[in-house]
Amino acid sequence: MLNDRPDRLGGYPFHRLTRLLSAIEPPAGLAPLVMSVGEPQLPVPALAIETLHRNDALWNKYPPMAGTPELREAIAGWLTRRYHLPATMIDPARHVAPLVGTREGLMQLALAVVPTQKNGKPPRVCLPNPFYHVYAGAAAYSGAELGLVPTSRSTGFLPDLDALDAKLLDQTALFYLCSPSNPQGTVADIAYFKRLIGLARTHDFVLAVDECYAEIYDGAAPIGALEACRELGGSLDHVVVLHSLSKRSSVPGLRSGFAAGDADVIKALLRVMDYGGGGMPLPVQATATALWQDEAHVEAVRQVYAENFRIAERILGNRFGFYRPAGGFFLWLDVGDGVEAAASLWREGAVRTLPGAYLAEDAPGGNPGAAYLRVALVHPPETTETGLRRLAQILS
């Protein structure tokens, strides 16, 4: 009676975490601290609240699935400024689709592009291992084979392009890349992007680059796949990038992001949304328009995460393989056994963290996330410091 395709996945990470921790009693006197979820806990920008309220009268309208022209133009303008693109490279009418959060778009993208067969074989969706769980879910629900591409410290935690088999790439319909990556915070460089875009074009698959952490950085602004497209002549063929306001503007509850890229893919995505998309409410579209046009609130958000990483560096030093990621707000700590560490942190310190094994699938060399723990530095600095002090003390 039920769709059994997701049964081949290892399980939804947060359900697995609940199962692990529900059997453990945290200490009664300590306030629980949630550092397992990548949900920004910073105040909602005043610009978001004001714009939302100013557009209250629009709640009585169904929203246009393709977005208002104002929102599409604001997105194209932001992409052009952020990635130093020629003014005509992004056509707001053809290259942009608003999303009710990138999460839903990642799933809808698979439904939009994975065919029943690719070159006479079952279609394949490639994704890094470890990965953001929605990529695997989207692959499974679309009926594709799961093409897990190994990542490791030696590949800079990016999918190892040398490990890709040309025949399997011919079967590939969609390749998810995350940059800055969740969980490791790695940013692909221009040569990497160019090589992967070249493979997408040669083997005719869609490259979906999840860049939802692109605005959370401490040093140089992470480059994006569109910059590689620009350097390759400006065509967006076979490439789609996904962005979100959830992390950039600390509004994960607003449910607002977008996909931009190859006009045929955007059209196919909008067709799926016509049938099964909720649509972004008009007051939210107006708010998103204002937020994509503003940088001041983003700079303030970035300062908070930078301070969190300074605190982490001070408390963790060179323990647990600590490093400051190039992007995003996660620590990816090498603790030996992530499941054991997550259990101890909850039992002794009431701190919830996520075992790396839950973000990866078993591979021939074992589960590549098994030794790691993902810690989300999403709280204001004071709370972050409390959580990290408890963590350092318990795991030492």
Ligand X SMILES: Cc1ncc(COP(=O)(O)O)c(C=O)c1O
Q: Which is nearer to ligand X, 13 or 283 (CB)?
A: 13
Looking up tokens 């025949």, which residue turns up? 167
Other Cβ atoms within 10 Å of 319 Cβ, number: 13
Q: Which is nearer to ligand X, 288 or 388 (CB)?
A: 288
Please state, in angstroms and rounded to a whole number, the distance separating the CA atoms of residues 339 and 309. 23
Which three-class secondary structure state does DSSP give residue 337? Answer: coil
Q: Which is nearer to ligand X, 196 or 395 (CB)?
A: 196
Beta strands in 215-285 (DSSP E): 239-244, 257-261
- Considering the rule CB under 6 A, would residue 308 count as an interface residue with ligand X? no
Chain-centroid distance of CA 85 in Å reads 23
- Considering the rule CB under 6 A, would residue 132 count as an interface residue with ligand X? yes
- Considering the rule CB under 6 A, would residue 182 count as an interface residue with ligand X? yes
Q: For the packed helices 338-349 and 381-395, what is the interaxial angle rounded to 10 degrees?
A: 110
Size of the site for ligand X (CB under 6 A): 13
Interface with ligand X by CB under 6 A: which range of 101-109, 272-280, 298-306, 319-327?
101-109
- Considering the rule CB under 6 A, would residue 212 count as an interface residue with ligand X? yes
- Considering the rule CB under 6 A, would residue 297 count as an interface residue with ligand X? no
Q: Which is nearer to ligand X, 101 or 349 (CB)?
A: 101
Question: If you count them, how many residues does the chain have?
Answer: 396
The two tokens of residue 270 are: 């909008």
Q: Which is nearer to ligand X, 108 or 344 (CB)?
A: 108
The residue type of 264 is D
Give me the residue whose beta carbon is nearest to ligand X: 101
Q: Which is nearer to ligand X, 210 or 262 (CB)?
A: 210
Buried b (16+ CB within 10 A) or exposed e, 223-241: bbbbbbbbebeeebbbbbb
Interface with ligand X by CB under 6 A: which range of 99-107, 216-224, 319-327, 333-341?
99-107
Asked if the peptide bond before residue 64 counts as cis, ω within 30 degrees of 0, the response is no
- Considering the rule CB under 6 A, would residue 257 count as an interface residue with ligand X? yes
Residues found near ligand X in the complex (CB under 6 A): 38, 101-103, 132, 178, 182, 210, 212, 244, 246, 252, 257
